Structure 1
């Protein structure tokens, strides 16, 4: 898919829903994911597409996400019902597939786990997960950014582990099962390296 056409389509889709800030975030994440992919031997084109589409579900506010997920046939865990914000990663995957015709399973996987990661992550999953944390959607600098960037100098896995460890030690509302699985796998991988 042509990057420029995709970018324009995403801009139109999000701006019609009054989500211009999300559009800016998505483009920043996609462009940064592309650079990370080049650095860490993942497919830059796929990383950019996944980044561009990772938060496409912003058109649905948190209080609608359970109903939207149910309508789309998305299976939800109790943690997602407790904190519906997390569901957006799964809804974004479905929108990427259904409305943007993204059928590449690697791209869809990276979109689907960009907030929590997952136990059976790929390099592309890690790239988009990290890009989203570095190019976060809040004002100012992320409080974890210095440690995350230092960890990234070692590896994607070190950066992902650093971020999840930071979360687990700072008032996380719920621990998504995928996040926990990723944390355990990353810890084992880093200890055996």
Structure 2
């Protein structure tokens, strides 16, 4: 384990219960709302996985893990990423919040011992998605947008749910398109999001 994680884990006695470990990790490190959000996203990811014939256990685990990097404030995330030897894109340097997906991926592997590459990759793109997204990538991406971490109903939820009736890809595109239509309000347009938009736009047009 990287030394940067030692202070975060030294007070925790990990057990074989991964869900409990993750919730405890976030709670002890002063992120109780994120802890609850991660459990909610895990539940939603499991539901979507059953709907779209994805691996429901992997989906739930990815949901539990996706925001574990919330323990690092935005102001520290670029420095943390450098220490973890994570590739940093210019857009991420400008808007460090968005690199939390990459940090969570490393933490899932190094702190919680996740070796399933599909789970790690889904965690690593859950905010932006990516080109050539796997089924699990899309499940986690959509679950995170449905079980969002703010009060009230998401402003895009009706459109997303309507499109989800067609396919998971339609649901994922509905959210990305929502952002795309409002990109002038975004701090940055992440290149992975742009690539996912272009790819999914073509896919939904031929359904």
TM range (shorter): over 0.9
Residues 1:178 and 2:192 are matched in the alignment = yes
Q: Which residue is equivalent to 1:63?
A: 75
Structure with larger Rg: 2
Instruction: Tell me the alpha carbon deviations over residues 101-126 of structure 1, each in whole angstroms, 9 at most, x when there is no partner.
Output: 00101000110000000002001000
Query: Deviation of residue 4 (structure 1)?
Result: 7.5
Residues 1:119 and 2:131 are matched in the alignment = yes
Residues 1:29 and 2:48 are matched in the alignment = no
Q: Please give the root-mean-square deviation of Cα atoms over the aligned residues, in Å.
A: 1.2
**Tell me, which stretches of 5 or more residues in structure 1 are unaligned?**
none
Query: Deviation of residue 168 (structure 1)?
Result: 1.5
TM-score (norm 2): 0.90
CA contact (8 A) 2:129 2:193 kept: yes
**Tell me, which stretches of 5 or more residues in structure 2 are unaligned?**
1-14
Alignment of 1:118-137 (within 5 A): 118-137=130-149
Moved more, 113-122 or 7-16: 7-16
Instruction: Tell me the alpha carbon deviations over residues 66-90 of structure 1, each in whole angstroms, 9 at most, x when there is no partner.
Output: 0000000000100000110001000
* Alpha-carbon distance between aligned partners in 1 of 2:50 and 2:205, rounded to the nearest angstrom: 26
TM-score (norm 1): 0.97
Query: Deviation of residue 192 (structure 1)?
Result: 2.4
**Corresponding pairs, count:** 191
Q: Secondary structure at the match of 1:118?
A: coil
Q: Which residue is equivalent to 1:149?
A: 161
Runs (4+) off by over 4 Å: none
Alignment of 1:87-106 (within 5 A): 87-106=99-118
Q: Secondary structure at the match of 1:179?
A: helix
Instruction: Tell me the alpha carbon deviations over residues 10-60 of structure 1, each in whole angstroms, 9 at most, x when there is no partner.
Output: 122111111000000000000110010011011000000000000000000
Residues 1:73 and 2:85 are matched in the alignment = yes
The partner residue of 1:83 within 73, 95, 114 is 95
* 1:132 to 1:4, Cα distance in 2 relative to 1, 3 A: farther
* Alpha-carbon distance between aligned partners in 1 of 2:119 and 2:42, rounded to the nearest angstrom: 12
